[in-house]
């Protein structure tokens, strides 16, 4: 195996040695929680959408003018002044409030992670700026969430809201992988060339390009589906895979729905092919191989969940699960891209560094003898 890059330990302005970033368990834990938290936040957003709970709180950032909303129907009926013709049920209020609360907690976790990385590991500019960008995007997502409520759930704003949330998880994955993994050494990169971000070995370039295309196609299909739902085109096609008994859609809403299905089909094919190509790559980590396998499992699950929507007459669980699985496919493709670009786990760098140090000490002892 090619020898990894053995980086020198970080030091602060007082020349005190700081453990490498991949040994910072607190930071890695915070970055991991951020990834999981944003996926949970997007899933909760899907549940809020399909249950009609988006205006469960009529105001923002408070809910019913309070930091903890009323959950009894009598109080909700008395104080609700939102756009709904009927007042929301307690579960609508609780779902919307939980969605907001998870977003706030993610923001706090990211703020701590950003402070930590700039204080302890500011020499690692890649992780520092990725984490900072992630916090910035999530803050904007929170502000857009408020705009969604105040604009009576405008479809265009809701689509942008979801898009930025997906960009937030994209940055979260990159920050985590950049902190836990490293590139190969310049000597080992002799058979490599530049890519959009970093370098990639020649034998891995095709798989990397496919994974990147698959990720983009997954995101486009995801957003098209959400826009279709918000334009009230999500349930116009009650059969699968075609829309009713007609090969061509018969209305504008049906065209929106079927455009989403076509984009989804293209993304399924590309994701399957990319997962296959990555699985067959030589000299890859166990994490990358697992991500390739996960891509196949997740995309098949996503396809079945999409079909389950018309099969179950668009049950709430099928609609929410469809968005959640699409997000997981997107996250998995981002992991694949990041792991191809940074293939060396930090623990392997530590082992290599220890071996090198032992060898140097042995040479010194031999010379002194």
Contacts of 351 (CB under 8 A, 6+ apart): none
- pLDDT value at position 153? 59
* Cα(24)–Cα(28) distance, integer angstroms: 6
179 Cα distance to chain centroid: 16
Contacts of 175 (CB under 8 A, 6+ apart): 31, 34, 127, 130, 131, 134
- pLDDT value at position 363? 46
* Cα(279)–Cα(129) distance, integer angstroms: 31
Burial state string for 16-35 with b = 16 or more CB within 10 A and e = fewer than 16: eeeebbbebeebbebbebbb
* Cα(153)–Cα(350) distance, integer angstroms: 50
- Asked whether residue 220 carries a pLDDT value surpassing 50, the answer given is yes
Contact assessment for residue 208 and residue 218, using Cβ atoms and an 8 Å cutoff: no
- pLDDT value at position 298? 95
- Label residue 357 by pLDDT band (50, 70, 90): very low
What average pLDDT does range 78-92 have in this prediction? 82
Highest-confidence range of 85-99, 147-161, 177-191, 336-350, by mean pLDDT?
A: 85-99
- Asked whether residue 206 carries a pLDDT value surpassing 50, the answer given is yes
- pLDDT averaged over every residue in the chain: 82
Taking alpha carbons only, the member of 283, 276, 278, 236 closest to residue 258 is: 236
- Label residue 2 by pLDDT band (50, 70, 90): very low
For 257-278, the pLDDT digits (tens) are 888 889 999 999 999 999 999 9
191 Cα distance to chain centroid: 31
* Cα(12)–Cα(226) distance, integer angstroms: 47
- Label residue 6 by pLDDT band (50, 70, 90): very low
- Domains assigned to the chain: 21-182 (no CATH), 186-369 (1.20.1420)
For 132-160, the pLDDT digits (tens) are 999 999 999 988 887 777 766 566 777 88
- pLDDT value at position 359? 45
How many CA atoms within 13 Å lie on the side-chain side of 217? 22
Contact assessment for residue 4 and residue 182, using Cβ atoms and an 8 Å cutoff: yes
- pLDDT value at position 116? 95
For 300-348, the pLDDT digits (tens) are 999 899 888 888 888 888 888 888 999 999 999 999 999 988 888 877 6
Question: Which residues partner with 167 through β-bridges?
Answer: none
- pLDDT value at position 192? 63
Helix, strand, coil share of the chain (percent; to 5)? 70, 5, 25
Cβ of 220: how many Cβ atoms within 10 Å?
15
Which range among 180-189, 215-224, 290-299 shows the weakest confidence by mean pLDDT?
180-189
- Label residue 240 by pLDDT band (50, 70, 90): confident
- Label residue 355 by pLDDT band (50, 70, 90): very low
């Amino acid at each position: 195996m090619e020898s990894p890059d053995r980086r020198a330990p970080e030091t602060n302005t007082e020349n005190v040695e700081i453990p490498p970033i991949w040994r910072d368990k607190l930071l890695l834990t915070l970055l991991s929680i951020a990834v999981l938290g944003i996926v949970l936040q997007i899933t909760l957003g899907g549940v809020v959408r399909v249950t009609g709970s988006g205006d469960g709180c009529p105001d923002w950032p408070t809910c019913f003018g309070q930091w903890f909303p009323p959950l009894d129907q009598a109080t909700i009926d008395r104080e609700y002044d939102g756009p709904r013709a009927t007042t929301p049920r307690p579960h609508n209020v609780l779902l919307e409030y939980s969605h907001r609360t998870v977003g706030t907690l993610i923001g706090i976790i990211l703020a701590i992670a950003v402070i930590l990385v700039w204080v302890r590991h500011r020499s690692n500019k890649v992780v520092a700026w990725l984490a900072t960008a992630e916090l910035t995007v999530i803050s904007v997502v929170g502000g857009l969430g408020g705009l969604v409520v105040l604009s009576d759930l405008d479809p265009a704003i809701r689509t942008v809201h979801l898009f930025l949330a997906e960009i937030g998880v994209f940055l979260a994955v990159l920050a985590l992988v950049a902190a836990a993994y490293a590139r190969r050494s310049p000597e080992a990169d002799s058979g490599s060339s530049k890519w959009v971000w970093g370098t990639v070995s020649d034998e891995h370039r095709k798989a990397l390009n496919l994974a990147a295309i698959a990720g983009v196609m997954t995101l486009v299909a995801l957003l098209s589906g959400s826009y279709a739902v918000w334009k009230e085109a999500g349930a116009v096609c009650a059969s699968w895979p075609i829309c009713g008994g007609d090969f061509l859609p018969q209305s504008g809403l049906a065209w929106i729905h079927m455009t989403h299905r076509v984009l989804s089909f293209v993304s399924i094919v590309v994701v399957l092919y990319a997962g296959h190509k990555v699985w067959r790559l030589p000299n890859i980590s166990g994490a990358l191989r697992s991500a390739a396998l996960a891509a196949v499992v997740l995309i098949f699950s996503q396809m079945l969940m999409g079909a389950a929507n018309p099969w179950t007459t668009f049950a709430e669980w099928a609609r929410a699960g469809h968005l959640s699985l699409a997000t997981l496919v997107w996250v998995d493709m981002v992991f694949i891209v990041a792991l191809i670009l940074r293939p060396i786990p930090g623990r392997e760098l530590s082992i290599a560094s220890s071996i090198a140090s032992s060898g140097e000490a042995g040479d010194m002892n031999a010379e002194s003898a």
